[in-house]
Amino acid sequence: MLSIALAYCSDDQSAAQRIGGDLASHVNFNHLSVGRSNAGPVLADLAGDYDGRIVLLVSESFLTNPNCMLRATEILGSNRDVLPVYLRNHRYDEELGEVITTQTSLSKQSDLMHYINHWQDRYIDLRQQQDELGSHGGEEFQRYLRKIRETSVQMEEILILLRDAWTLTESQFAANHYQQLFIFADRPALWEEYRAFETAPPLDVAGIPGLDMLRAHTPEAEPTPPLEEDAGAGAQVPGEVERPGPPDPEPEPMIETTPELDLPPAPGIAPEVDSTEQAETWISRAWALFDGGDAGAALELLDSGREALPDQLDLHYHYALLLATSTEDHAAARRETEALLDRSPDHPDALFLGGELCEVAGDYATAREYWEQLSDVEPFYPDLNYRLGILLADHFPEDALDAAAYLRRASRNKKPHAEACYRYALLLKSPIGRKKKAIRQLRRAVELDPTHALAHYELATLLHGQKKYAAARNAFHLAVALEPAFDTEVNRHAFAKQPKKTVVAATPAEEQALQTLKRNIAELEALIAERDLAPSPDPAPAAAPQTKKPGTNKTVLISGATSGIGRATALRLAREGYRLILLGRRQQRLEELAALLLEDHGTETLLLALDIRDRSQLHHAIAQLPEEWSAIDILINNAGKAKGVDPIHEGQIEHWEEMIDVNLKGLLYLTRAVTPGMVARQTGMVLNVASTAGKEVYPNGNVYCATKHAVDALTYAMRLDLVKHGIRVGQICPAMVEETEFSLVRYDGDAERAKIYEDFQPLRSRDVAEAIHFMVSQPPHVNVIDLVLQGTQQASSTVVDRSGRERFAPVDEEE
């Protein structure tokens, strides 16, 4: 027997009882139910005492009940296992005179805004009532007002947690004998047992003596209707017993159907089950028929379904898809798709299918229109970005940058196509001209698909152009092993260990092979033609002496160097030739960063694995620096931390102490240890990485904002103290920055809650690093005292345009 909690609003008790009844033989539910009474229990408190798995029944009633939503983050944001199940909502429409059924959903931004606005409006209305009531509101009213206010403040976070969780609709939850419940509970064997129990044949009682006599004297009972969550028009009032009337004089005529196809009822006959469920059943049945080789029956079933349930648009979509798949009558499928889009212009599946059908027909402009519209509706629709990027690259070469943007997005999928990375690399190489970035994408392509011969060959040519001859030679040999057509005399000469000065002309046979290859691989045409027809280049002459880099012989100490802005700053300054002292708590990450800097830039590094909160250890490490590292030219106080998002009266003291110790005291300890040397040399620079939180406060940012305001004040105070010693002092104040561990640390490692940048494009750590480079690279007579950075979509700490990232997504993805 499985024991599990079922949490819900009391308005949905009938649904909970139905689920409990269905599973009573194998599941023991612990019911956690709350009503709407102001003095009643809060679901978060009931769930707090339960340490097992919880199934959460989410409905319109649930999402508008303060006892359900208050502190719901304690349920959803905890480490416990919670499965939200979205119920159907039923309400009686007096104007229509019928029950309206809707499916609870939080998949769209408009769904979230509906409930956010509901709670905000509710609080505003209560505030107005409070103003009218004055002191007559009473303690009960004040308690209710506080509850609504707290809930409205938390609502966006709660809804995002629900949206991002693994959720099921009521139909999905009940499907296949509640299989998903047993998967969630990690009890697959118990599901097999339950399924066998549910599908067991009924007991054969035909041989029991006297049973016929018993039946003859037992009046036929009316079938018990299924228990619904809300009674519709004409529902029987509880407690009343409806007496069976006399039997009809003649039975209703039977409606003939085709048993093999389970055809839908004729138009005008209402289905006995929910229309969405019925449509899903017919769709599944149709594809099963198609898989079994009976495409005609499948089309007939879906066509009948469209007539019976004309408002179920998925039936129309699957009919069009089946037409295209089974008959290859693309014109008919396209007409059906266009008709569906006339009724629902933003239907994602229809838009994607429409684009596919237009592409097959050679109507690339219309295919582009469909897919670009789908990109606006659902930017990460499966395979969309890859297909749209290829379409633009192949048929709209003038829009190469748009093609690159879509292929870039496709290459960043959780499971990207190797071909997406390869085609993206070709665009980066030409016409965009980002060859280093193209090399990285080609390396990703061959990592995803080691048999991708074209990617190996392109990688070889680009590495050869970068004078990385050994790596180019290895890539070339891999390409040849996969595709022998690349093994020409010209290529062997180009990738030889010792390139020869003599020109070896291609033989006629090799020329014929390459011409065939060029017809099949348009992307390599220019390169192969050049390699076959042009003389091989002589080895490059000795490189001219390199100019001195700006950071040569200068030492920079960066705290918090293992991640985020600190790491990005190390990578940026390494390109300028600076020697770097990298300070951080994690030894392994320091070593990995040092190895990367040495490999890519030949950077000298010194690693200090310590915690800046430890004053004695910090001062000892600075005092014991080797002689050649003791003269620090630039100190970048980057280490910082944000912990918690609690209001001041609920703040956790340990969070406060940690932020004060790192953001303020750690910065002071390190500055105190390093600046005496700068004063002695009468030169140097101190750069503090602050925050816009030091310029303005925001709700629940109390102590973090206070520490950053302190850094802002300290920066100006340091400037006054050190100006007479020729030491420059400045600070950089970025707003929201991704590619850091800021939000993950702030939410105590909760990756789901830390997803705060998904719907807008903030700054990146590399953007801040670029600004830091600007500050430190100014001539000695220029001091940048204060630099504030914001993303285009962020106007203040609380005013953010969350309409999506893609409009401002950066093209440059280099480290």
Task: State which fold the 555-808 domain adopts.
Answer: Rossmann fold (3.40.50)
pTM: 0.39
Give me the pLDDT at residue 507, please: 55
Residue 701's closest CA among 673, 749, 736, 750?
736
DSSP 453-485: HHHHHHHHHHHHHTT-HHHHHHHHHHHHHH-GG
- In the chain, where does the domain assigned CATH 3.40.50.720 lie? 555-808
Residue 548, C-beta contacts closer than 8 angstroms, at least 6 positions apart:
577
Residue 544: predicted pLDDT: 40
Convert 205-225 to b/e letters by CB count within 10 Å (16 or more is b): eeeeeeeeeeeeeeeeeeeee
* Residues 486, 491, 496: CA angle, nearest 5 degrees: 130
Kindly state the tokens that stand for 809: 């997504």
- Rg of the Cα trace of the chain? 34
CATH 1.25.40.10 intervals, the chain:
276-490
CB 53 within 8 A of CB 83: yes
Residues composing the chain: 815
pLDDT at 399: 87
Query: What's the DSSP call for residue 800?
Result: B
The predicted-structure confidence for 137-193, as pLDDT tens digits, reads as follows: 577 888 888 888 888 888 888 998 888 888 899 999 998 889 999 888 888 889 889
Cis peptide before 259 (omega within 30 of 0): no
Q: What pLDDT was estimated at residue 144? A: 86
Largest CA-CA distance found in the chain, in angstroms, rounded: 113
d(CA 749, CA 601) in angstroms, rounded, equals: 33
Q: Looking at the annotation, which residues are catalytic?
A: 704
The H-assigned helical ranges of 23-83 are 43-48, 60-63, 66-69, 73-76
CATH 3.40.50 given to domain 2-196: yes
Nearest to 125 by CA among 159, 149, 95: 149
Helix (H) or strand (E) holding 733: strand 727-734
The DSSP code for 586 is -
Instruction: Provide the b/e sequence for 75-94 (b: ≥16 CB within 10 Å).
Output: bbbeebebbbbbbbbbeeee
What tens digit of pLDDT does each residue of 679-723 get? 999 999 999 999 999 999 999 999 999 999 999 999 999 999 999
**Regions of the chain where pLDDT drops below 70:** 78, 131, 133-137, 202-274, 328, 497-547, 740-756, 811-815
Residue 559 phi/psi, 5° resolution?
A: -90, 155
| DSSP-derived 3-state class of residue 637 | strand
Residue-level pLDDT at 629: 94
Helix (H) or strand (E) holding 291: helix 275-291
Rounded CA gap, 241 and 426, in Å?
76
Residue carrying structure tokens 């303005």: 696
Closest CA to 356 of 326, 333, 379: 333
Instruction: In whole angstroms, give the CA distance from residue 270 to residue 263.
Output: 14
DSSP 307: H
Task: Measure CA 197 to chain center.
Answer: 40
Write out the CATH class of domain 276-490: mainly alpha
Neighbours of 690 (CB within 10 A): 28
